[in-house]
Amino acid sequence: MSNYIYINDVGPRDGLQNQATILDPQARIELINRLIDSGIPGIEICSFVNPKAVPAMSGADQIVKAFEGNQTCDFSVLVPNMKGYELAKDAGAKTVTVVPSATETMNQKNINMSLEETLDSAKEILKTATADNLNTRAYISVAWECPYEGKVDSARILSIADQLLDAGATELILADTIGATNPKDVSVLFRQITQNVDPSILSAHFHDTRALGLANVVAALNEGISKFDACIGGLGGCPFAPGAAGNLATEDLCSMLHQMGYQTNVDLIKLLDAVEYISKQLKKDIGGRMTPWFRKSLYPA
């Protein structure tokens, strides 16, 4: 079994989409460059949403074009609908991501569409992207628990997964959007889905709302999952999901994995430099749980 764990940092999109301070495209490009320099292998760089609805994601085309031809990192962009997909393709995006939620109410609250409509839209995008020879990724949001409907039946997740994979998704990410799950339930769902889906195309996206983000990663690792989302500084939280705190901090995830003997190819010192940069840009102190300890170990009094 490989000792390498793939980390996808969602900070430039998920982490910044709901911040009080809106960063211009150039500041976000600088953040992405710093993440690349730290060795992060995958980065979600932007979202092709309506900038009137999400001002923090304006200039998505500029960001994609800024990294045209870059071969050192896997870049992905979120596309909420077919219009967003067309804009992303025209900008030169190579990997597009869809994010349907697993429950009726979450989809209604998020994008004012039913679960069936959301899945139909996601599948249309995946099929079109496949025909256009683009890489495709699909999330299943609120895969364990919904803030409106409570715990989600795993049978529904397995059905949605089959539909998204059949439509052309080459990677599937199960997302604990509100940070409500626990290691036992993480193990159960991944054990079920890996009976029919190769673990190599599965990934996990955890929030640290209830301080279980790292524990949930270990549970997923034990089920053969080797790809994880994380967010620099622990930023993020879905604006349409009440109670959703920040994402699992990339620096916490990398630190734990390194201590467990896994390889990530991420330079923690350079990653912490990126944390310092974004902290200054947002004008607030951010960072994972390990950040104070790491700073103290680097610069002892």
Output the six-digit token pair for 58: 């304006």
Active-site residue, 73 included:
no
- The strand pairing partners of 173, in sequence order, are 139, 203
Output the six-digit token pair for 25: 């495209």
By CB atoms closer than 10 A (0-12, 13-18, 19+), residue 109 is middle
Among residues 229, 138, 128, 219, the alpha carbon closest in space to that of 182 is found at 219
Output the six-digit token pair for 126: 């995946």
Query: Which residue out of 73, 146, 238, 254 is catalytically annotated?
Result: 238
Among residues 35, 5, 1, 10, the alpha carbon closest in space to that of 260 is found at 5
45 residue type, one letter: I
Active site amino acids: 238
